[in-house]
Structures are given as structure tokens and as C-alpha cells.
Amino acid sequence: MNELLRIEDLSAGYGEAVVLTGVSLALGEGRTLALLGRNGTGKTTLINTLAGATRQHGGRITLGDVELNRLAPHRRAAAGIGWVPQERNIFKSLTVHENLTAVARAGHWTPERAYAMFPRLAERKGNLGTQLSGGEQQMLAVARALVLNPRLLLLDEPLEGLAPIIVEELLRAIRRITRDEGLAAIIVEQHPQAVLAISDDAVVLDHGRLVHADSAQALRAQPEVLERLLGVAR
Ligand SMILES: Nc1ncnc2c1ncn2[C@@H]1O[C@H](COP(=O)(O)OP(=O)(O)OP(=O)(O)O)[C@@H](O)[C@H]1O
């Protein structure tokens, strides 16, 4: 397995405040990692640190052979980080199509391919961001990260607040993007079972430290460990 991402002894936070301490992990090309943990344990901070939106106090992050540590967010995007933040950050005053064409870079993922992945977006090509439902906005946020042609997709609670039918649709799309298209991803979720079912690997954060690392399948099969680490069995 070729390694894509390596995080070594990372500490990071906001200003002087340190949220993450001593976090180390590696992710192979094409693998999907479930990033789990209770509220406020540092999951978003880890994603934001990979994207370059926090202060890195120590340690090393490498993507392929590029050191990300001191790179500005736009350079990380150019190096292959595709970030879908919790707040989605789509351009609400632009149409769906403009959102995609404004950021698209040459590569496998064209706007047309993104529409094939999310047919709802194809139907809403001419609609403004403000006219989309929460689920459609989330699909657009994922599609926008895809057309940047990243090497690693970062999804921060992509299912949060969405209706069950949309959750199913998004999970199916994410599984196709990661499994069938082979794009590596890190997915943050509060509710572990759905994301463990589509992930290869799993890590759990607690108080800014990595307290568990296993295969997603193994963690899924141990409700007592999920209960202890996350306070949920299912
Ligand atoms: N912009 C910020 N400035 C200062 N501290 C912050 C900031 N954002 C988050 N924190 C703190 O960092 C810690 C970790 O928060 P983080 O959002 O990374 O956790 P999380 O595991 O993603 O939680 P949740 O599931 O609730 O989103 C918390 O104590 C939080 O108060």
C-alpha cells in the first residue's frame, strides 16, 4: 500500500491554545478513514489543521512528498487537499454550475462527472446556492471539492442535520467516490455506524489525543468499545 498522508506527533490549536497533542497517523492511497470522537474532542480541529485553517504548534504533516506544515490553505488545495468544511462554504450568490466552474481544475473530476455522481445537482444547475436545500448544499460542497481534483477529500460531518433519505443518497455517493473511484478520504462523524460501514480504517480522538486506531470493520464489530470511547453502541 502506498502511503498518501502521514501525520507525526502533531500539536495544533487556535492562537496560543493547544487542542491536539501528539497525534500521529498514516493513511494509504485510496483508503477511507473514519475520524470519530465525542463532542469537542478535536475532530474538526484536526480536519482544519490539514486544510491549513488552524495554528500548527508542532509535528509534521506530509501529503505524498509535499510537506504541508507551513503551507497556506490555497497551496494545500493545490497539493491535493479537498476540504468540505462543516459550514459547507458554497458561494450562495452563484448558481450550482458557477460554483463548480469557478473552482474546477483540469483532471478526472469535471463538473459533468460531478453531476453524474449527484443527479439532483444536474437538475438544479441554474439555481442559486440560496435556493438549495441543506442536502443539496452539502452535495454541492462535495462536488466543489471534487472538481478541484484532490488527492485527499476531507469531509467534516457531511451528514449532519440532513433528512434520512438524503443521508442515504450522500452515503451512497461518498461510497462510490471512495470505493469505486478510489479517492482517499477522511470523514468526521458523530454517529459512527454509517461511516464505519463505508470506511477502511478508524481512529478515535479524546481530549485532543488519538486514543484508538483500528480497522473500521473491527471497531464496528465491538459495540462495547464504541460505547466506552464514544458513549454510543450503534
Ligand atoms: N476557533 C476556535 N478558537 C478557540 N477554540 C476553539 C475554536 N474552535 C474549536 N475550539 C475548541 O477546540 C476544542 C475542540 O473542538 P473541535 O470543534 O475540534 O471538536 P470536535 O470533536 O470537532 O467537536 P464537534 O463534534 O462538537 O464538532 C473545543 O474545546 C473547542 O472549544
Residue-wise pLDDT tens digits, 217-227:
999 999 888 88
How many Cα atoms are found within 13 Å in the side-chain-facing hemisphere of 26? Answer: 7
pLDDT of amino acid 190: 80
Catalogue all structural domains in the chain, each as residue range(s) with its CATH number.
Answer: 3-91+152-230 (3.40.50.300)
CA proximity to 55, closest of 3, 29, 20: 20
As a whole number, mean pLDDT of residues 145-173 equals: 94
Residue nearest to atom 4 of ligand 1 (CA): 14
Each residue of 132-143: pLDDT tens digit?
999 999 999 999
The DSSP result for the chain, as a single string, is --EEEEEEEEEEEETTEEEEEEEEEEEETT-EEEEEESTTSSHHHHHHHHHT-SEEEEEEEEETTEE-TT--HHHHHHHTEEEE-TT----TTSBHHHHHHHH--SSS--HHHHHHH-HHHHHTTTSBGGGS-HHHHHHHHHHHHHTT--SEEEEESTTTT--HHHHHHHHHHHHIIIIIT--EEEEE-SSHHHHHHT-SEEEEEETTEEEEEEEHHHHHT-HHHHHHHHS---
Question: Is the pLDDT at 232 greater than 80, yes or no?
Answer: no
CB of 14 within 6 A of ligand 1: the answer is yes
As a whole number, mean pLDDT of residues 111-117 equals: 96
Pairing type for strands 17-28 and 3-14 reads antiparallel
Burial class (CB in 10 A: 0-12, 13-18, 19+), 9: exposed
Each residue of 60-107: pLDDT tens digit?
999 999 999 989 999 999 999 999 998 888 999 999 999 999 999 999
CB of 42 within 6 A of ligand 1: the answer is yes
CB of 207 within 6 A of ligand 1: the answer is no
pLDDT level of residue 7 (50, 70, 90 thresholds): very high
Give the C-alpha separation, 25 to 7, whole Å. 5
ipTM at complex level: 0.95
Q: What is the percentage of the chain residues whose pLDDT exceeds 90?
A: 88
Question: Is the pLDDT at 234 greater than 60, yes or no?
Answer: no
Residue nearest to atom 3 of ligand 1 (CA): 14
Residue 185, C-alpha cell as written in the block: 478520504
Residue to substitute in 11, 38, 45 for testing ligand 1 pocket (most ligand atoms within 8 angstroms of CB): 45
Residues in the chain: 234
For all residues of the chain together, what is the average pLDDT? 94
CB of 2 within 6 A of ligand 1: the answer is no
Sign of the torsion formed by the C-alpha atoms of 80, 83, 89 and 95: positive
Pick the residue with more confidence: 121 or 232? 121
CA proximity to 192, closest of 139, 233, 163: 233
